Amino acid sequence: MASSLSVVLCALLGLLLWGGVGWLLARRLGLLGGLSLPLAPALGWAVQNALALALAQGFGLSLWTMLGAALAIVLVSLRRGVPTDPGERLPAWFYAAAALVALAPAVAILPKFTEDGVLLGAAIYDHAKIALTAEFIRHGIPPINPVFAEPGTSPGVAYYYLWQFGAAQLGRLTGSSAWEADAASTWFTGFATLCLMAGIAFHACRSRIAPVIVLLACATASLRPTLAMLFGEAARDHVLLTSTGLGGWLYQTSWAPHHMASAGCTVLAALLLARLAVQPSVRVALVLALVVAAGFGSSIWVGGVTFALAGGVIALALLPVARPGWRDLFVIGGVAAALGAAALVTPMALEMVAAGRARGGGAPIILDHVQVLGNYFPQPLRRILDAPGYWLVLLVVEFPVAVVGTAFAMRRWRHLLPRHPEASRAATALALLALCSLLCGWVLVSTAGENNDLGWRAVLPAILVLTAAAGAAVAQAWRARPVVVGLVMLLTIAAAAPDGASLIAGNVHGHPSDQARQFAQAPAMWEAVRRHAAADDRVINNPRLMRRVTPWEVNISWALLADRRSCFAGHEMALAFVAMLPERRLAIWEQMLRVFDGVGTAEDVTALATQYGCRVVLLTAADAAWSRDPFADDPRFRLAEARDAAWRIYVIGD
């Protein structure tokens, strides 16, 4: 199981590695008037990871490429120039408070030890990608698909994996497991984005109220539970669609920190574009390229689709207000940064393009605005009202503190930042990023998976910008009308607090499961498997094993504990990682289920040994095939180890 001590060690290394180089780089760039410390974690993470990944693709993932990337950033940061002194800085207590708030999503990833066994948080379902982090730790770059292998299919990974690569660096440098590195990286992502939002808010108004509002906004969540308490769940669900998949900082960082990290990269990229407009330089363009590449590498939906649209709009808006006489250099720098980012992400992008073709289907993105209202409104009136309902109802319900707080500044958004040209350009860039982000979430729908991942994640840059704007706007309005502003924000925070408290409680206590005791015994089982499986061997187990440990079925014990590749890790994992037609994926899924249900044919069992590259088979007492063992009398399978009433491990080909 993951050790809390190892998680802390990884987190401290992340602060040193990414926060240290980010601080030096932010000081040299002079973003936010030189307010470098709150930008450091997000900036250092983006630049070091993008550069380390590029180096690893050429020279392999090693101590030299990981630390070499950091050293290169340090050398660039120490070149001539005098860093800007921002004067007043964020108070030290904020960083301590941000570190505590960032524990709320990170604790969802840790195991919860109880008298009945080990529980997992619901969010661990989306962290089954820990298997990919383990692949990086074992074998480095380029990654071999840990989920599935078959002759004729691409051995690569059809997924955006920079965030998992970053976690793997922590694992390699500390000797920690992928699970521990993932939990630490989740905390670091939360801490970095909190600092980024608070830094922008504080720079806008120089008030210590601003970072407090940021923290409160991120510790709260949706109004849905409060609406249910006031009007009843039936009435609420009658008026509003039950769920749209949207979620605020707390939910998204718990479930999908890679998308949140990508959103942080888009905010940094907007600030860098504004900086490029007033100070065109090779250094700014290079950093911009690395940050954009990091955003794409962490999320094709946020750093790819959303920023591709927003970045072009921001650049066009900044061109007329670029520093006089430097517009040509701004264009050249912007184009160079775009080409540099494209070159950095090409290997990953080609794999995803090939995967899209292999999966078949229609267009990966379609136009269709979000459904908001419930069946209280008849069709087709409901679909007509859904369009404004997104802006007037859904955003307020899902992101109440950020939206209500920002409303204080709607008439004077240009004055959120100090009144000088560079600050105005930064305000314009951030405002356009937020607007494009919300527009993408409103009308774009992804069809590549079972859910609208694009719509769910596209709004994340707007969440970061609006939360920062809310902090600044409330702090400014507080000075003029403290009673009114204080009362409005108190009511809003109180209304959004129950859902935030519920999410935090779920992260802390975990998902109740009658398989908690079985999962507590899983580490010993997978340790036994590793004794008989080499580092590059593939193992097969029942993909539905311990399926009730998580709220939705996923091969979670393999993903967290196996530290080995799988022959077929399950339908959910294959959907994310494997370039395969849906019909073929479903056929293999059903084939594996037949084998472990004890009703597989001889051809099904043979396929494990000859078609899917399986080397080791894990059969457990929880599998229906335990009493109808299809491997016991097959000469291709040798029983390597067994524990009575627990598991049997077969080795193929000896």
Q: CA-to-CA distance for 178 and 163, rounded, in angstroms?
A: 12
Element (H, E) at 640: strand 637-643
Query: In degrees rounded to 5, what are phi and psi of residue 616?
Result: -130, 140
513-522: average pLDDT: 94
Weakest mean pLDDT among 69-83, 287-301, 366-380: 69-83
Looking at the chain, the whole-number percentage of residues with pLDDT higher than 70 is 95
- What pLDDT is attached to residue 83? 54
Averaged over 61-78, what is the pLDDT?
Answer: 91
Q: What is the mean pLDDT of the chain?
A: 90
- The percent of residues in the chain predicted with pLDDT above 90, rounded, is 67
Residues 471 and 500 grouped into a single domain: yes
One domain for residues 211 and 71:
yes
Statement to judge: residues 528 and 458 lie in one domain: no
Asked if pLDDT for residue 164 goes beyond 70, the answer is yes
Paired residues of 641 in beta bridges: 649
Measured between alpha carbons, how far is 613 from 634 in angstroms, rounded to an integer?
17
- The mean pLDDT value for 428-442 works out to 94
Q: How far apart are CA 520 and CA 532, in angstroms?
A: 21
Please, are residues 467 and 249 in contact by the beta-carbon 8 Å criterion?
yes
Query: Would you give the end-to-end CA distance of the chain in angstroms?
Result: 31
Tally of structural domains, the chain: 2
Helix runs in 299-420, H state only: 307-318, 327-359, 381-389, 395-398, 400-407
Q: Give the pLDDT of residue 478.
A: 87
Same domain, residue pair 343 and 480 = yes
pTM of the model: 0.95
* 32 and 39 Cβ atoms separated by less than 8 Å: yes
503 & 522 share domain:
no
Same-domain pairing of 56 and 154: yes
Given the DSSP bridges, would you call strands 565-566 and 538-540 parallel, antiparallel or unpaired?
parallel
Residues 292 and 424 in one domain: yes
* Mean pLDDT of all residues in 565-590: 89
Q: Which of 514, 533, 539 is nearest to 619 (CA)?
A: 539
Domain range for residue 648? Answer: 516-652
Which residue reads 């409160």 in tokens? 216
Per-residue tokens: 304:
């790819």
Query: How many other CB atoms sit within 10 Å of the CB of residue 232?
Result: 11
- Rounded Cα distance, 310 and 343, in Å: 20
The pLDDT confidence band at residue 600, using thresholds 50, 70 and 90, is confident
Supply 58's token pair. Answer: 């050429």
- For residue 79, name the pLDDT band (cuts at 50, 70, 90): low
Q: What is the CA radius of gyration of the chain?
A: 25
What is the rounded CA–CA span in Å between residue 42 and residue 191?
9
What the block records as the tokens of 461 is 């840059």
| Amino acid letter, 22 | G
Give the pLDDT score at 362. 67
Q: Which two tokens stand for residue 433?
A: 């990023």
Q: Please identify, among 482, 508, 534, the residue that sits at the C-terminal boundary of a domain.
A: 508
Q: In 3-state terms, what secondary structure has residue 143?
A: coil
Give CA–CA dist 400/403, Å, rounded: 5
State the average pLDDT over residues 581-602.
Answer: 90
Contact 184, 167 (CB under 8 A): yes
pLDDT of 80 reads: 55
pLDDT for the residue numbered 370: 85
Of 508, 539, 555, the last residue of a domain is: 508
Token pair, residue 93, equals 């207590």
3-class DSSP assignment, residue 484: helix
Assess whether 93 and 179 both reside in one domain.
Answer: yes
Mean pLDDT, range 241-255, rounded to an integer: 89
Which pLDDT score, from 0 to 100, does residue 360 have?
65
Q: Domain boundary residue among 508, 540, 556?
A: 508
Residues 27 and 118 in one domain: yes
DSSP-derived 3-state class of residue 643: strand
Q: Is the pLDDT of residue 575 over 90?
A: no
Asked if 63 and 40 count as a contact pair (C-beta separation under 8 A), the reply is no
Q: Does 492 lie in the same domain as 348?
A: yes
pLDDT at 635 over 90: no
Lowest mean pLDDT: which of 82-86, 129-133, 301-305, 409-413?
82-86
State the pLDDT at residue 351.
Answer: 83
Residue carrying the six token digits 């059969």: 619
**Residue 630: strand, helix, or coil:** coil
pLDDT-based confidence at residue 87 (cuts at 50, 70, 90): low
Examine the pLDDT at 419 and tell me if it is beyond 60.
no
Q: Can the peptide bond before residue 142 be classed as cis, meaning omega within 30 degrees of 0?
A: yes
User: Does 230 have pLDDT greater than 60?
Assistant: yes
What confidence score (pLDDT) does residue 417 get?
47
* Comparison of pLDDT for 35 and 8, the residue scoring more: 8
499 with 520, same domain?
A: no
**DSSP helix/strand/coil, 135:** helix
- On whether both 477 and 500 belong to a single domain, the answer is yes
Q: What is the mean pLDDT of residues 168-176?
A: 96
- Of the listed ranges 245-249, 513-517, 647-651, the least confidently predicted one is 245-249
Q: Any idea what DSSP says for residue 369?
A: P
120 phi and psi, to 5 degrees? -125, 150
pLDDT at 577: 87
pLDDT digits (tens, 9 = 90+) for 354-393: 777 766 666 778 888 888 888 888 888 988 999 999 999 9
What pLDDT band is residue 418 in, cutting at 50, 70 and 90? very low
